[in-house]
Structure 1
Amino acid sequence: MENQLDLVKKTSQYIKRSITLKIISVGILILLLLIPASMVKGLIRERQQRRDTVVREISQKWGDSQTITGPFLTVPFKTYYKDDRGKTRFNLKYLHFLPETLDISGDMTPEVRYRSLFEAVLYNTRLTFNGNFKLPPASQLNVEPKNILWNKACLSLGITDMRGIREKIVLAFNGVEYNANPGLKTTDLAGAGVSTLVQPLSAQASNAFSFDLNLNGSEQIDLIPVGETTTVRMTSPWPSPSFNGAFLPVTREVSKEGFTADWKVLHLNRNFPQFWQGSKYKVTPSAFGLELIMTADIYQKSTRLAKYAVMFLVFTFFAFFFSEIINKRRIHPIQYLLVGMAILIFYTLVLSLSEYIPFNLAYILSAGSVTLLVSGYAWAIISNSKFALTIAGILSILYCYLFIVLQLEDYALILGSVGLLVILALVMYVTRKIDWYEVEAVAREDGK
């Protein structure tokens, strides 16, 4: 019985002092801490989804992201057929004509609206449209000229969210002004918009048009290049636009005072012609425009932060592990676990604080708090001020390094890779003279 107790005691001492088993246990703890780390990422996604929901609610009352299609002419024509009784009947189909020239110029006035902790970027834009239609010869239409109802021609403008229209739209066509009415003849080119009957319409006339559009929207605006030559000029005091879509501006100027952007798109740049029947072609893939982005997206930055959680756990745990070897003072797995939880609290602390104060300040306060907490705990369990200062230095370097990576988005990958290589090289340099077999042997002897 006494021999068995001695064996149990020796085994317990070996487990307590074995370096190999300690490395394995630390690795298992890191894997276990990945569970709360993934929960932190889930919390960030949840808050981001909540933000997106609030932004949608604000946008629905003001005006959603807008896509403007047109203007374009829609002309009905008759196609005849015989029914089951042999009687001649007809269906109405539609010809769509796009402008020869289309010039759009406008100003965007942005506005940030707040609800609770969240903010949404809204805008009001005043656009001026000018251009003309050049009708093709009747022989190119593949329709009997007598079946075309030119007196029913409609000038149409597609607008995705009609709630954003702020003023009456007066369309000037061939010198005559028309009040636009809600609704389109067909949804072949756009799902919603305004239109009006126009006359006269002929192949000989210039068919010039002009009108102004006062429109509310949120975050993004897109335009469809329906002109044979489409030119667009947009200006705004917003300092951080994101130009996107099928075409980028040919020239742009962006500064802290705002931006100016010019586009020029030819009909050869897109995949639809100047006229066709029905819904044969889709125009939305050719949309281009801009988005008013918020540069301080705290949820995007928090997500990027959480990706480095494993790195912080590994380097902090290994600092404690080397302290065990150097100071010959054993640290219990529970103490490792508490340190790991403190490291993970940093990410939730940054997220919660950044919803009330600027992100950089939230980052500094969170990093400072966690560094003081972990280094103070290290001093308490090891009773070695040098070790506590070393832990504080390691965490300070890691948090500074991560802060720099966040600021340099374009170089984040290369900076992260080089930084990890440098840290690994330093660890290898510091531990180059440690004889791990001897350390293991000493631990085994101590356990006897």
Structure 2
Amino acid sequence: MQENQITETKSFLQSNTAKMIMVGFLTLVLLIPLFFVQDLIRERSQRKSEMVDEVTDLWGKDILFYGPMLRVPYTSYENFSVTDTKTKVTTIEKKATTSYAYFFPNELTNTSNVKKNESLKRGIFNHVVFTANMNFKGNFANPDFSKLGITEENMQWDKATILVKTTNLKSIKSELKIQLNNEKLIFEPQNSNKSDYCILASNPFNYKQLARGGKVDFNFSIIYNGSNSIKFIPIGKITKVSIDSDWDSPSFEGSFAASHNTKDVSHKGFHADWKILDINRTFSQQYIGAAPFLDDYQFGVKFIKTVDEYQQNERASKYGFLVIGLTFLIFFLIQSISKINIHIFQYSMIGLALIMFYTLLISITEHSSFSLAYAIAGSSVVGLITLYSVSILKNRKFPMFIGVALSVLYTFIYVIIQLEDYALLVGSIGLFAILAAVMYFSRKIDWNK
């Protein structure tokens, strides 16, 4: 009776069911080092983000341009009551104060040429930034103060200025001068109550003397060092923006879409045009008191990397469980078909070799391209497991099959990582094909043994 129990116990431990349970448990255990690898990838990605913040702070951040606008001061009067303490007689007096009226351009045209700069590097990290050469031209129509309820005699025409609001003054790399008809004015920075904007103001000029035919033409250029994005506020009654760049992965953002007729994106760069009319937005062309906050109307382009090396590494690591599971399944099917016994320790060595793929991948990627790192890491791991399986399986037929199967699997995952729009479709079809192959090769295995 005791001998029968020992025989039954040995039979169960050597059965396919027991082996499958042990392999499945080992697969779950190997998720622990895989999670550590994913944490390593996130840590390296965080270090790069810190480097990007440092570089962009020194070189230049996002560019947001709001202007130019005409500011004309005027005299306003405020009534207040004065009571004589002795006679108790109250009189009404007027106090003169200076207020400001703001007028937006009648026409505003911008032409920008953006060149990427890949020379900035911190340690092993390299962040791509750009230099933007921007030209603005247009005109201001004769201001109509009657709409604002201001009389002509209260206007201080000789103290008119041109204002520009922008971000990150230290990224401007050219002297900023504006041509107003036949006069040149120089911009100087002013204090701003809003931390997200910096204000540049021209030296005062006499608008009445400068105006020609009821309008003032303007023209100026500016060179920016920047990163991430360039955006504008469409304050012109007619606003036109044209951007050319050698950046091949733009993202057009904001409240207004680029023209589909002229937009062109290729591996050499992109061209985009915008034309926005005053009827396309809900704010006026003139204001009193203070220039309005119009960030909700911004538009432009964001310069992005579709998938950077750390995103690719993170996506690759998410398929780690699939790679480990399918590799163990291949060995388990070979073991079941060939009746060759594979020890759980040998499964462990194979699993650790698969984990090493991701540490090799992230370390090599930081010193080369992701594609080259993937090829080196994949070839190394496939070669190692193939050679190891020769000693396990005692022949060359099955190890060659394993080498080919792993090569196909890693190639399949690489293709999914590179795809964007069709990643889910290709992945689903590939997993269906893998499932069909497993069902086919396992159809004759007697699972009752």
TM-score normalized with structure 2 length: 0.86
CA contact (8 A) 1:298 1:354 kept: yes
CA contact (8 A) 2:159 2:206 kept: no
Which SS does the other structure have where 1:179 is aligned? strand
Deviation of the 1:16 alpha carbon = 2.3
CA contact (8 A) 1:109 1:124 kept: yes
CA contact (8 A) 1:174 1:206 kept: no
Residue of structure 1 equivalent to 2:178: 171
Further displaced range: 94-103 or 252-261: 252-261
Deviation digits for residues 56-93 of structure 1 (CA, Å, limit 9, x no counterpart): 22222222221111112234554736489898667765
Select the residue among 17, 26, 29 that pairs with 1:20.
17
CA 185–367 in structure 1, closer or farther in 2 if over 3 Å, else same: closer
The separation in 2 between residues aligned to 1:435 and 1:83, in whole angstroms, is 104
Further displaced range: 79-88 or 98-107: 79-88
CA contact (8 A) 1:184 1:195 kept: no
For the aligned residues, what is the CA RMSD? 2.9
The residue type equivalent to 1:60 in the other structure is D
Residue of structure 1 equivalent to 2:87: none
Query: Which ranges in structure 1 are unaligned for 5 or more consecutive residues?
Result: 440-448
CA contact (8 A) 1:107 1:234 kept: yes
CA contact (8 A) 1:102 1:227 kept: yes
Deviation digits for residues 243-268 of structure 1 (CA, Å, limit 9, x no counterpart): 33333321223344433322212223
The separation in 1 between residues aligned to 2:310 and 2:281, in whole angstroms, is 36
Deviation of the 1:12 alpha carbon = 5.2
Residue of structure 1 equivalent to 2:41: 44
CA 320–227 in structure 1, closer or farther in 2 if over 3 Å, else same: same
Q: Map 1:160-309; keep pairs closer than 5 Å.
A: 160-183=167-190, 187=194, 191-201=197-207, 205-250=214-259, 251-278=262-289, 281-294=292-305, 297-309=308-320
CA 434–279 in structure 1, closer or farther in 2 if over 3 Å, else same: farther
The separation in 1 between residues aligned to 2:289 and 2:357, in whole angstroms, is 59
Further displaced range: 288-297 or 160-169: 288-297
Deviation digits for residues 97-152 of structure 1 (CA, Å, limit 9, x no counterpart): 22121001122232112222111222222211111223553332255666665544
The separation in 2 between residues aligned to 1:108 and 1:327, in whole angstroms, is 63
The residue type equivalent to 1:293 in the other structure is I
The separation in 2 between residues aligned to 1:399 and 1:108, in whole angstroms, is 38
Q: Map 1:340-419; keep pairs closer than 5 Å.
A: 340-419=351-430
Query: Which ranges in structure 2 are unaligned for 5 or more consecutive residues?
Result: 84-89
CA 389–279 in structure 1, closer or farther in 2 if over 3 Å, else same: farther
Deviation of the 1:379 alpha carbon = 2.2
The separation in 2 between residues aligned to 1:38 and 1:273, in whole angstroms, is 55
CA 80–379 in structure 1, closer or farther in 2 if over 3 Å, else same: farther
The residue type equivalent to 2:56 in the other structure is S
The residue type equivalent to 1:140 in the other structure is K
The residue type equivalent to 2:105 in the other structure is P
CA 15–84 in structure 1, closer or farther in 2 if over 3 Å, else same: farther
Which SS does the other structure have where 2:141 is aligned? coil
Count of residue correspondences: 434
Residue of structure 1 equivalent to 2:136: 129
The separation in 2 between residues aligned to 1:173 and 1:51, in whole angstroms, is 45
Residue of structure 2 equivalent to 1:138: 145
Residue of structure 2 equivalent to 1:120: 127
